[in-house]
Structure 1
């Protein structure tokens, strides 16, 4: 699998997950926690890609970054 396919699939998954996570954030009373958890996931995922630079690690990091970018681009309600 090429990196382009991995990036494309992860971006599509991120777009599909955006409404679900948006509804979760809107319904939650713990909005700050929902910001901190993805930041921790991304922070631990970056060294994982360096330690194991395979397709699975790149795919996982791309998915986590795509979800985080979409969450941060939505203004707070």
Structure 2
């Protein structure tokens, strides 16, 4: 069984694009994910890139999105 990572690295521009594509406000998504508006804004702008698993899962659920759309590409050698 696959383990949930302790943290996730989100891709801010993709996160913002997904929110905007759905016509959702930053405040609405933040409230649905139970995170602050400023935290979500920092993720979208790339000021902050990593977030803990519980927060990330709530954010992904609030956006009804997938890891493929929200996570930064992995750096495979």
Structure showing the higher strand proportion among its residues: 2
The answer, yes or no, to whether TM exceeds 0.5 is no
| TM-score normalized by the length of structure 2 | 0.30
Report the structure number with the largest CA radius of gyration.
1
Structure showing the higher helix proportion among its residues: 1
Q: Which has the higher contact order (CA 8 A, sep 6+)?
A: 1
